[in-house]
A and B are shown apart, each in its own frame.
Chain A
Amino acid sequence: MSATHDGRDAEELRKGQEERLNKVWETPKGWRYWSVVNNTEVGIWYTATSFAFMLFAGVLGLLARVQLAVPENDFLTASFYNQVYTLHGTVMMFLFAVPIFEAVAIVILPQMLGARDLPFPRLSAFGYWCFLIGGVFVSGSIFFGAAPEGGWFMYPPLTTQERFTPGYGPDIWLLGLSFIEVASIAAAVELIVGTLKCRPPGMRLNLMPLYAWYVLVVAGMILFAFPPLIAGDILFELERLFNWPFFDPERGGDPMLWQHLFWIFGHPEVYIVFLPAIALVAMIIPTFAQRPLIGYSWIVLAAVGTGFLSFGLWVHHMYATGLPSISLGFFSAASEAVAIPTGVQVFVFIATLLAGRVVNSVPMLFVSGALAVFVIGGLTGVMVALAPFDWQAHDTYFIVAHLHYVLIGGMLFPVVAGVYYYWPLVGSRRLSDRLGKIAFWLMLIGFNVAFFPMHLSGLMGMPRRVWTYPTGLGLDLPNLISTVGAFIFAAGILIIVFDILRPKGNQPYAERNTWNAGTLEWLSEVPGKSWGVRCVPIIKTRYPLWEQPGFMEDYDKGRFYLADAEELQRETMVTSVLDGEPVQCLRVPGPTFMTMIAAILLGAVFIFATFHWWEATLVAMVLTTISILVWLWRGTSLIPEKAEKDVGLGLSLPLYKSGPQSVGWWAMFITMVGDGTAFLSLVFGYFFFFTIHEDFPPTGAPTPGLLWPLVSLALTAGAWAAAWAALKTNKAGNVAVARVLMAGGTGLALAGGAALVWAPYGAGLDPVSHVYPATVWVLVIWTVAHAAVGALMLAYCLARSFAGRLTPVYDIDIENVALYWHFMAATGLITVAAIGLSPLAA
């Protein structure tokens, strides 16, 4: 009797818990739906948007193929054709290939880690809105005939000089994409902190799903690969807008600097695109082989090894630029070396399939197609990594064939496999097996028919990017075949789109864990719940659904951590990096329009700047800053109502952590690493000119001198010391002293910035006259802007302290600002050393 009674009580308790969780994680209705920040919604928007951009870019690809179908064709004008292929490449790479990684990771990573959400949901939402606005801006330009025409890598001087490229095309490309890069870096911060700090208890590094390893590596790569492009964009745009001669040889500039900065980004980007797609393969293969992946450590080797080696390959895009052959040799060697970890992955997958009993299915079909196509692309990659071969094939259709084999085999096929595999998590139903198979064969056949002949037309000498070609060179037939193949391929894609969009109301739900997989994301209920996970499980194995008995029942009954939301707050768990030991119960923020507003305002800054509306740009900048301050003030480092909370199973965890144990501190650290990389790329530019010029600074040219740079350095060091001392005194309870230090630090930072500006200004350095003053000014502006942000941060802490939102115990704000100031001090030191000391060395 009493046992039944207890059972009923327990049942009631569970019901109450589920009701509370439902209420807390509920998606807002009506127009407020667009204020959602939850990963499940934002991730789906993100994925759908990047797919839409892919379809758009695919249509552009088809237009290009129609133009090339027959010789001497005039289906498109030459100028429009240039816009078409430029946007095809740009949109595919920047608006599909990279964002789809972030999108998919935002959807499935938290599920895979048994987390309710990523640590900064609002940051994900902000990134999404940036991506949408920037993407529409860049893509939309073609409807006004204003799209960029310079190819997806925008080589100057073709693109920097008004006489070659009139109009706004390159500005739209640069500013639109710089804006989207903000979204990528935001996602990288989110995903690194998510992977390291939001794993479920017990999920040690050796038990982490391989997908998470790949996410960690790729997000780390974004942090070092995107900032050089941002630095390049800054130089490029300063040349376009203000005629600062970074790439103009007549005034000491050099177009090669752009190529370096672009490809330091561009080559790792290929792997940033490839690795997350292969990560999907690493999740799909164990499921359909029905056994754990063989060689877990070998995959970690491959992911981390590729991540590093990929930064030593960039010059293999520049073999034909006349660099000394010893330099080419270094890059060629590294390009061959990267084949080792890439090959290891393929062998690990094949070994797992051989050792398991493979279940036939559509995702597996796409995986096998992916491996076959990718290996062919990899082999031509080994060929073009050799400089002498590349000199023959450079800028021909052979390269076009190679890159499409790599990208479509290494990225598109695995992503489609992922769509078929993960659709039941999103749409609660499986996609059609029959349509999937038809689509697969159309895509595989169409792809090879389209792209294989390009190897031949390339070897025959057909250059890339030509608008048309004369008849009788032997190019007619291969081009016609390629065009036919492209349309067969597109038909396959259309079938997938149809399969996704067709109404499935009369089709039964897929059963839960429909493929019998072993990892946590398949705990998801059908139809899905908005709470993410019912409770935060304890992990002891790599494939808990296979290897931990009774796991799903315990999970459903809420027998793990955080099964309830007593205070009606959104919560998830923070754990330690190595072993996943519980550290904190993290309150994550809910819906808000602030992220959308901030993104719109920031978008306005970039769009107004494109059209040179300077007053409007300044106003938008101020409004963006205000909106971000409002967002931070109202939504971050909130003081909880109690210090600790019982998270279940007798465990009590703190609700607030500051310093190196808090997720915010790590986010600041990671952001500043990316920011520092952009700064070092500018410094690289300075020393690039230093090495290529016999005398740099040019003899007799004015220099900033030593006095004012050193004054600035002293003031900046003072601000840095004040920030650090403010943190320590505040922690010790000396709030009044801390406030004085914050105010003093603000003043010192501003004075330091002013002194630094005065150095080149007072010496009369004119950035338009020569590349030397221009590079000095860039370093100065970068440093001063960071000093101003640092001053604003200290002032913010001061205001928070007066408002009672920053106390000796609850001190996230000043912890993070002090961390920022370490980076700022290093920036000031390097700038002063570069602009003050290098003239002495010369």
Chain B
Amino acid sequence: MAFSRHTEDNLWTLIAAPTVWAFHFLLSYVVAAVECAPNSDIFEPIGGTRLLVAGITVIALVAIGFVLWRSIREWRYHGGGYRHNEDTDLDRERFLEFSTVLLAALSFVGVIFVAMPALTIWDCR
């Protein structure tokens, strides 16, 4: 079935947003570990690292935001709704779109959660 100008959702598109979350998490961790792992000068401010985390966060939020925007738009275009238990291509598509919306929303919040320590922690203590 062709949905013109629309993505046909599958399991990979479903996990796109949480995958972005995972990379954001991993990169934030690596950036901080590389800066702080030789724990020699723990009172030195790590402004550069914090900015880097902020940058990664913006990129991740934009990517997840794109997934969220796309899935909401397509879910609405295909009629929205919450049940999606019909035996049709359309309902399967709507189910995947709505689940993508939910997962993208969770990932968006998750990225913000993970980025918050970089707002308040100034050094390697």
Contacts and interface: CB of A to CB of B under 8 A. Distances in A.
A326 B124 CA distance: 7
B28 A330 contact: yes
Contact of B85 (A305, A330, A542, A691): A542
A217 B83 CA distance: 21
Contacts of B21: 308-309, 312
A308 B114 contact: no
Given A308-B22, A541-B87, A204 B33 contact: no
Nearest to A335: B113
A205 B92 contact: yes
Interface string B107-125: 1011001101110110011
Q: Classify the secondary structure of A's interface with B.
A: helix
B95 A206 contact: yes
Contact of A337 (B29, B99, B110, B117): B110
A137 B16 CA distance: 42
A296 B32 contact: no
A300 interface: yes
Interface string B52-91: 0000000000000000000000000000001111010101
A297 B113 contact: no
Interface string B2-42: 00000000110011001101100100110011101111001
A327 interface: yes
A206 B33 CA distance: 41
B108 to A, nearest CB: 11
A204 B49 CA distance: 46
Given A296-B85, A577-B10, A326 B118 contact: yes
Contacts of A300: 99, 102
Nearest to A292: B85
Q: What interface size band does chain B fall in?
A: 35 or more
A205 B95 contact: yes
Nearest to B82: A297
B12 to A, nearest CB: 10
Best-surrounded residue of B38, B49, B99, B120 (most CB of chain A within 10 A): B99
A333 B98 contact: no
A612 interface: no
A108 B96 CA distance: 25
B117 to A, nearest CB: 3
Interface string A564-588: 0000000000000111000000000
Interface residues of A, number: 44
Nearest to B10: A578
Contact of A325 (B15, B22, B38, B121): B121
Given A301-B102, A326-B117, A540-B87, A311 B22 contact: yes
A206 B32 CA distance: 41
B96 A206 contact: yes
B84 A296 contact: yes
Nearest to B34: A691
Contact of A329 (B18, B49, B94, B117): B117
B92 A578 contact: yes
Nearest to B89: A579
Contact of A341 (B22, B33, B106): B106
Contacts of A296: 83-85, 95
A301 B103 contact: yes
Contacts of A328: 117
A297 to B, nearest CB: 5
B85 A333 contact: no
B42 A324 contact: yes
B18 A304 contact: yes
Interface in A304-356: 304-305, 308-309, 311-312, 322, 324-330, 332-334, 336-337, 340-341
A207 interface: yes
A691 B33 contact: yes
19 contacts: A202-B87, A205-B95, A206-B92, A206-B96, A207-B85, A207-B87, A292-B85, A305-B103, A309-B18, A312-B21, A324-B125, A326-B117, A326-B118, A333-B114, A340-B109, A539-B87, A540-B87, A577-B10, A693-B38
Given A206-B95, A301-B103, A327-B36, 10 more contacts: A206-B94, A207-B85, A301-B102, A301-B106, A311-B22, A325-B117, A329-B121, A333-B114, A579-B92, A691-B38
Interface of B: 10-11, 14-15, 18-19, 21-22, 25, 28-29, 32-34, 36-39, 42, 46, 49, 82-85, 87, 89, 91-92, 94-96, 98-99, 102-103, 106-107, 109-110, 113-114, 116-118, 120-121, 124-125
The 7 A-B residue pairs with the shortest CB-CB distance, nearest first, are A329-B117, A206-B95, A308-B18, A301-B102, A324-B36, A540-B87, A333-B113
